[in-house]
Amino acid sequence: MGLRSFVEVFPDSHFPLENLPYGVFRPTSTTRGDGSRPAPRPGVAIGDFVLDLSVISAAGLFDGPILKDSPCFLQPSLNMFVGMGRPAWKEARLTLQRLLSAEDPTLRDNTSLREKSLLNMNEVEMLLPTVIGDYTDFFSSMHHAKNCGTIFRGPENPIPVNWFHLPIAYHGRASSVVISGTDIIRPRGQGYPTEKSPPYFGPTQKLDFELEMAAIVGPGNELGKPINVDEAADHIFGLVLMNDWSARDIQAWEYVPLGPFLGKSFGTTISPWIVTLDALEPFACDGPKQDPQPLPYLAESKHINYDIPLEVWIKPAGHEHPVIVTRSNFNNLYWTLTQQLAHHTINGCNLRPGDLLGTGTISGPEAESLGCLLELTWNGQKPLNLIGAARKFLEDGDEVFFTACCKGKDYNVGFGSCTGKVLPAIP
């Protein structure tokens, strides 16, 4: 039997009392006295509602030793809270589970406080949950690495030898990380020249999605002081869904010798709710067998992954209903979250609260588990049939939907959705 809340939570909800993911929102149904919009504030999701943590904090209901009198939930972002570390996260989780439980009268029986603090999700605007100072994107799925290598370099040596020794990554562009529901304008750039002509310039002809998840960094580390792999989980607040939109033709022409640039930096979409590692703990599973054995700084005593089913749906332009194109799982990652974070800091690089660490495209071994159109269509050679609409890559007006939900015996722990619609390139 799952935990019971006085807030109605339907059986198929992503957000039961066992989850309580964090986000940042502002109400849409009210305005300030001067006509301006309400300030952003932190919240947690429960069923179809958002609990306003600024109201709960102002009422003095965070009364534990760490959060009592803390201004962390009176901020316009979650950076202060995620930077406080695991003891604060656990205290907040226990307090919120108690306040929202069916048995506790504190909020349940206080009509005025309940009406001020609980808002229907259709009455709020979701915003980026943290101020993202830096964004790193890893390349941690072996199946994705093998498929991409085969497409671009041939089947003889698709995965570089260094890939099995370290979690490869590049530094992305934090300024173009956007919240779910934000439209993505088709980027323009250069592509490979044909025969003796100059490089192509214009709107990308190979716009793609990438099915990823991303870790939100909690407490950071001082410059020059790496994080031990066995302590790395204490520096990861939780996970979000992430679509790292990609322009494959721009990327292919520019990526040698320094890696992705304009083919990636035009837009990265994340879901609004951060699901904590505490909520995901019941869905932990064994990490993958790694051969060769990682170097000592990456050899973790608890080598775990998470069983998180992932889906991608596309609604073609002009169509009413979306079509599922991918079913993958977070446990298809070869390098774990903790290995990624430990490697990121081994040179002394300092991470900061709210930083974003993308996993890279999460592809599985089956044809239906491939995490991008580059793989699903084999670089456009095998178009997909989406309710009669053929797709090699995304077209203007197409909408992409990611969703993820862990299925427990008595409850779900879900992430909601990560969505975006493709708009035409700016002339």
Q: Which of 352, 355, 423 is CA-nearest to residue 394?
A: 423
Q: Where are the alpha helices (DSSP H) in 126-210?
A: 142-153
CA–CA dist 212, 360 (Å, integer): 6
Three-state SS at 27: strand
Q: Which of 135, 127, 331, 278 is CA-nearest to residue 216?
A: 135
Tell me phi and psi for residue 295, to 5 degrees: -60, 160
Three-state SS at 346: coil
| Positions of E strands within 90-163 | 118-120, 124-127, 135-138
Distance, first Cα to last Cα, the chain = 57
Active-site residue, from 14, 144, 235, 343: 144
Catalytic site residue 171?
no
Q: Give residue 168's Cα distance to chain centre.
A: 18
Residue whose token pair is 């909408």: 399
**Sign of the dihedral through C-alpha 43, 417, 244, 338:** positive
Residue whose token pair is 């797709």: 391
* Residues designated catalytic: 144
